[in-house]
Amino acid sequence: MTKDNSRISRRHFLKGSAAVTALGSLAGCALLQEDFGTDEIDGIPDEPFRIVQMIFESGPPAFYGEEAMNASDMLVDRINDEGGLIGEREIEIVDRLDEDAGPDSLISDVQAMAQEGEVDMLMGIVSSAHSLAVAPAANDQQFPFLVTMPGTYQLFEENPDMEYVVRTAGSNAAGAVGAVRMVEQMDDVETVITIDPDYAWGHDHQEMFEAGLEAVGADVEIVESRYPELGETDYSAHVSAIADAEPDLLFSSLWGGDIATFVSQGVDGGMFEAVDQSLLIGDTGAPLLSSLGGSMPENVWLGGRGGYQPNYRYDEDEAHREFVDEYYERYDQLPGWGAYHEWMGFQALQEGVERAVSIIGDWPTGEQLTAAMNNIAFESPHGQHTMYGPQAAAPAVFGRPTDDHDLPVDHPLLGEFEFIEAAEVNPPEDDPTMDWVDELEPVTG
């Protein structure tokens, strides 16, 4: 395993290079040749580009929502200070819809917005379950939807013909298969316990992780799989059982408040002293480390889909450094996963508008804009962030807690980063995820 370097076979590299080379021509051909209906827009509209953000404002995942809203406000101000999209059209977030209202309410809101015709794009969403309900509804209403955070691999596999939906977040395959790649390189791992939330997100991660280990021929045994309820507040039974079993490795896709509660109780219960190593892939990073202060054990790997850690490539990447510094100066805290995912979304929006206008010569319709965001690439903290069709492919990035960092916070951040190339943790475009995981090849080199 290498540090901060790509781990990719030559076969994957050549395939990926060819795909990236073709991105511009594919998007251009689609915009010029497809029948996008009779709606056309002459010139650049005078009114702002109007976005409604769908996000958790209440409930347990609200801290992701707070990060996302903070980043969105900051990025809209930044873009508008430069004249707006393509320097000509400002952005306005006209409303925010609280995901805590549930999928039925969210679908009704989408239908109403589409019929009123006063919003240009829906953006955001945290919950994978909500994305599976809302995205098809938005597509049915021909209402552009930029999905920024949910990771469920089923989004496009169950809805392959959506033309008004794009997702800039990588799928949960990157985290689960990234964990498989980590285990491949670990010594002395024979027994594993998994603990994941008891709904589709958790079961999908556990199934991908187990199937991937079997496919690559890892000589390990998952001796127990545990499934606490979403929003569990008392993990003492799980902590005691895991500590008593003393597995070589603990794997978990718990996220949000659940992972913070579990880790805190696990530390107090001595669980991490009984476990040799842990892989916590539920989009964990700076906010979790901040909430735990200095109590995070060092024998834990944290991370998942994307290099969304404030000190990851901070010195090397000027754009990332500016994002972190501006966010910290504005909000007196470091950005977390919610903030990073919105940053990726706004970069895709800017790139998509620029591409569409350069090709068609006028402001794009909603369908033209979502088409222009297919097959694009832009910079991110982990290097080039590439969209294959309407879906981003993220690498897996993991790190260990360390106090050895230069950012102005008094809690650990991640260090000793391990970067696993996107091609090693995501299926090729149009390949069903679980079919690909079942045939996963061992890492080369």
Distance CA 218, CA 192 (A): 12
Look at residue 256 in the predicted model and tell me its pLDDT: 86
Q: Which two tokens stand for residue 215?
A: 């496919």
Predicted local confidence at residue 430, as pLDDT: 87
Report pLDDT digits (tens) over 228-240: 998 899 999 999 9
Taking only the tens place, the pLDDT of each residue in 162-199 is 999 999 999 999 999 999 999 999 999 999 999 999 99
35 burial via Cβ count (<10 Å: 0-12, 13-18, 19+): exposed
pTM across the whole model: 0.90
Asked if the model's pLDDT at residue 40 lies above 90, the reply is: no
Q: Which two tokens stand for residue 288?
A: 């979790």
Among 152-161, 206-215, 285-294, the least confident range: 285-294
Which backbone phi and psi does 316 adopt, to 5 degrees? -80, -25
3-state secondary structure string across the chain: CCECCCCCCHHHHHHHHHHHHCHHHHHHHHHHHCCCCCCCCCCCCCCCEEEEEEECCCCCCHHHHHHHHHHHHHHHHHHHHCCCECCCECEEEEEEEEHHHCHHHHHHHHHHHHHHCCCCEEEECCCHHHHHHHHHHHHHCCCCEEECCCCCCHHHHCCCCCCCEEECCCCCHHHHHHHHHHHHCCCCCCEEEEECCCCHHHHHHHHHHHHHHHHCCCCCEEEEEECCCCCCCCCHHHHHHHHHHCCCEEEECCCHHHHHHHHHHHHHCCHHHHCCEEEECCCCCHHHHHHHCCCCCCCEEEEEECCCCCCCCCCCCHHHHHHHHHHHHHHCCCCCHHHHHHHHHHHHHHHHHHHHHHHHCCCCCHHHHHHHCCCCEEEECCEEEEEECCEEECCEEEEEEECCCCCCCCCCEEEEEEEECHHHHCCCCCCCHHHHHHCCCCCCC
Reading the block at residue 122, the tokens are 């829906």
Mean pLDDT of the chain: 91
Return the higher-pLDDT residue of 405 and 43.
405
**Greatest mean pLDDT among 164-168, 259-263, 278-282:** 164-168
pLDDT confidence of residue 60: 82
Architecture of domain 173-304+395-438: 3-Layer(aba) Sandwich (3.40)
Q: pLDDT grade, residue 365 (50/70/90)?
A: very high
Kindly state the average pLDDT of the residues 259-267. 94
Q: Does the pLDDT value for residue 28 go beyond 90?
A: no
* pLDDT (0 to 100) of residue 63: 86
Provide the sign of the torsion angle of the four alpha carbons 387, 392, 395, 400, taken in this order.
positive
Confidence of residue 386 (pLDDT cuts 50, 70, 90): very high
* The pLDDT of residue 175: 96
Segment 387-412 mean pLDDT: 95
pLDDT confidence of residue 79: 99
pLDDT-derived band at 20 (thresholds 50, 70, 90) equals very low
**Predicted pLDDT at 6:** 35
Of the pLDDT bands very low, low, confident and very high (cuts 50, 70, 90), residue 35 is low
pLDDT at 4 over 50: no
Q: What distances in angstroms separate CA 70 from CA 43, 59, 62, 124, 376, one per listed residue? A: 31, 17, 12, 13, 25
Closest CA to 414 of 283, 316, 319, 323: 283
Q: Is pLDDT above 60 for 400?
A: yes
- Identify the sign of the CA torsion 262, 268, 269, 275: positive
pLDDT of residue 7: 33
Burial per residue of 384-406, b for 16 or more beta-carbon CB atoms within 10 angstroms, e otherwise: ebbbbebbbbbbbbbbbbeeebe
**Which residue intervals of the chain bear CATH 3.40.50.2300?**
10-172+316-393, 173-304+395-438
Please choose, from the candidates 183, 379, 391, 396, the residue with its C-alpha nearest in 3D space to the C-alpha of residue 309: 396
pLDDT (tens digit per residue) in 112-144: 999 999 999 999 999 999 999 999 999 999 999
Q: How confident is the model at residue 31 (pLDDT cuts 50, 70, 90)?
A: low
| Whole-number Å distance between alpha carbons of 303 and 353 | 31
| pLDDT at residue 2, rounded to an integer | 39
The residue with tokens 């061992």 is 442
Percent of residues, the chain, with pLDDT higher than 70: 90
Residue 386 CA to residue 16 CA, distance in Å, equals: 10
Interval 248-255 mean pLDDT: 97
Considering the segment(s) 10-172+316-393 as one domain, its CATH architecture is 3-Layer(aba) Sandwich (3.40)
Question: In the predicted model, is pLDDT for residue 407 greater than 60?
Answer: yes
Digit-coded pLDDT (tens) for 75-85: 999 999 999 99
